[in-house]
Amino acid sequence: MAEVSRKHAGDIEGKPVDGFTLANQNGLRVEILPWGATIKSVWAPDRDGNLANIVLGFPDLHAYIERNLPFFGCVAGRYANRIAGGAFTLAGQTYSLPKNAGTLTLHGGVRGFDKRLWSAEPLTANDSAGVRLTRVSPDGEEGFPGNLTAEVTYTLDEANRLRIDYRAETDRPTVLNLTNHGYWNLAGEGSGTADGHLLQLNASRYTPTDERQIPTGELAPVAGTPFDFTTASEFGARSRDDHPQVRLALGIDHNVVIDRADGDASLIEAGVLSDPESGRTLTVWTTEPGIQVYGGNYLDGSLVGACGRAYRQGDGIALETQHFPDSPNQPAFPSTVLEPGAVFTSTTLFVLSTS
């Protein structure tokens, strides 16, 4: 049966920190770090049974602490993605946030959830193993209102499903958008570009952006654009398309709108990423309304990954299940407001298989 183990990963301010490994009988292994609630590695077999780590990341805990600007594998929050002008208004009050990406607040600010140490406890069940990570984000942290208790649970089962369950409560009205910021390369981390991966998304619309990469508010059809992954398409060809939106973002870095009925928050299949060479396939299920598709456009060779090789543009593909960017300033978008007494929940499944 699936099992969870723990091992000393390093020290933070003189205190020991354990990392956790989830493993099943099919050879799948997932390493979790409490720093940033981070997925450090996912070791998965190819069609011939050969194991490789298929997520980008660093070799050890301290590398994440010192230089995880690409947000490798972390939980981004309190608000994943971008908030225009580093500000939003809620219940008549305007809140100012740190601007850590030009005029924007990105992934929760200067010290978002990715740069915090979470408490962690192992979990076991009949056919699965996991780790629950929790932290309290105090009122005013990075400018966000409310004392927020956040919980992220990673679970691996014998069906090769890596499940992420998010839960949060607040004592004041606030905004919240949580996602995992993993970069996938199904050929193996450090093996080179993921341009040859095929991506299929159940998304017939996307949110175009302005020059700041802030959504314009339009839900535009993907038909006739590089963002049309309604049938499986090679990612690299789309990320190098001569489309104004692609040029603006230096590649693909856009939120797609998952096809679902208004108000539906059920767990549905949102897309499939596959690597024809290795045969590895990643199927994504989520309760969220969107996915930020990002091709690692700002990886420039200055960062060396766990395998000892430099990461460059296109070496990984992030599929960030989420609410839409800048939703606190876009009343037509699905709401990201969390009220006292309500419980925020969200689930994403990453299902690994071979073909």
- Say how far apart CA 86 and CA 33 lie, in whole Å: 29
Residue given tokens 């939106």 in the structure block: 245
Burial of 106 (0-12, 13-18, 19+ CB in 10 A): buried
- Assess whether 269 carries a catalytic annotation: no
- Say how far apart CA 273 and CA 198 lie, in whole Å: 6
337-338 and 105-106 as β-strands: parallel, antiparallel, unpaired? Answer: unpaired
- Say how far apart CA 270 and CA 288 lie, in whole Å: 9
Beta bridge partners of 75: 180
Nearest to 228 by CA among 196, 200, 268: 200
Are residues 260 and 289 in contact, defined by beta-carbon separation less than 8 angstroms?
Answer: yes
- Say how far apart CA 131 and CA 34 lie, in whole Å: 10
- Say how far apart CA 282 and CA 280 lie, in whole Å: 7
Alpha-helical runs (H) found in the chain: 61-67, 235-239, 244-249
What does the angle CA 3 – CA 9 – CA 13 come to, to the nearest 5 degrees? 140
Nearest to 74 by CA among 186, 188, 190, 179: 179
141 three-state secondary structure: helix
Amino acid type, 122: P
The answer, yes or no, to whether the previous bond of 78 is cis (omega within 30 of 0) is yes
Are residues 352 and 282 in contact, defined by beta-carbon separation less than 8 angstroms?
Answer: yes
- Say how far apart CA 195 and CA 233 lie, in whole Å: 10
- Assess whether 323 carries a catalytic annotation: no
Beta bridge partners of 15: 12
Catalytic position from the list 31, 142, 151, 181: 181
Residues designated catalytic? 181, 320
